[in-house]
Every structure is written in C-alpha cells, then in structure tokens.
Amino acid sequence: MRDVCRVILSLCVGFLLVRGLLHSLSAAEASSQTTFTLKTPREVVYWVNPKDLATAGASDWVSGRERDRAAVRVKFGSRVVLHLAKGTTLGQVLEGGFLRPDREFGEGLFVVHAESVREALEESQRLAKRPGVLVSHPVRRRPMKKMGPMI
C-alpha cells in the first residue's frame, strides 16, 4: 500500500513540474509576441511575431496563432473583413483610420484594404472596439487538412 501511495505522489509531483515548465515556456514565448484582439464575431486574441510584421508588405501573409488554442494557426493578409450592424455606415467606421474601401459583398459586409499586414491587424483591433462593428479581422488563411484519401 505504501508503494502505491509513493507512486501516486510521484506521478502528481511530476505532472505539476511538467505543467509548470510548460506554463513558463508559453509565458516566455508570449513575451516575444505581439497580441491582437479581433472580432471573428467572437473576440479572439492572436499572437503574431513582431519580426514578421516588420518585413511584411501588402501582398505578404504573416503567420499567427490563437492565444487560447495554440494549435489554431492562421496567416493574416492586408485586407480586412468588416460586418457592420444595421444603421452603421462604412464611412462612419473608417473615419480616422487608414483603411480604404475595396469591396461590398452585401448589406453591411465589406472588405477593406490596408497598406500592410501590420496596419490591417492594428486597424482591425481598433475597429473591433467600435459600436456597430460586429466582425473585424484581417482575411485569414488556414492550413488545409486532408480528411480522406484523394481519388
């Protein structure tokens, strides 16, 4: 019985040590990342490497990942998806920013263009806080997963 208790205790201590180590590694990684809070329509926080943002232009894609679901990785572009509430106009929302209208897909659904991926992320985050903005995030690419055999 005593041996069983020792094994259980060592497993618990080992688990706590590994968990603490992983937490400190993720905290160190997070400190070297820039965070952006976007509406997708739920609020999601993404981590992006600032070095990638510094060199990215309008036609580039920058890698990022969700803070709360580290396995979810995306690439951000320089265009921004906006979904506005009824009664909110695109002109009202874009006022004071650097985004330019690009396309309208329906009532209140727009794609606007930024000069760089950094600008798209910063403006998306700014617009996500405004009233009347239901969705605000840069266009995202996600890796495709093969679900079955290719025929």
Helix (H, G, I), strand (E, B) or coil at 145: coil
Task: Please report which confidence band the pLDDT of residue 25 belongs to, taking 50, 70 and 90 as the band edges.
Answer: very low
Whether 135 contacts 40, CB under 8 Å: yes
Considering only residues 142 and 9, tell me which one the structure prediction assigns the higher pLDDT: 142
Q: 132: left (phi > 0), else alpha (psi -120 to 50), else beta?
A: left
89-115 pLDDT, tens digit per residue, is 999 999 999 999 999 999 999 999 999
Residue 88 phi, psi dihedral angles, 5° rounding: -100, 130
Residue 110: partners with Cβ closer than 8 Å, 6 or more residues away = 81, 82, 83, 84, 90, 101, 102, 103, 104
Task: Please report which confidence band the pLDDT of residue 32 belongs to, taking 50, 70 and 90 as the band edges.
Answer: confident
Q: How far is CA 133 from the centre of its chain?
A: 17
CB atoms within 10 A of CB 126: 15
| Residue in this structure with the two tokens 């606007």, named with its chain if needed | 112
What is the helix (H) or strand (E) element at residue 36, kind and residue range? strand 34-39
pLDDT of res. 21: 42
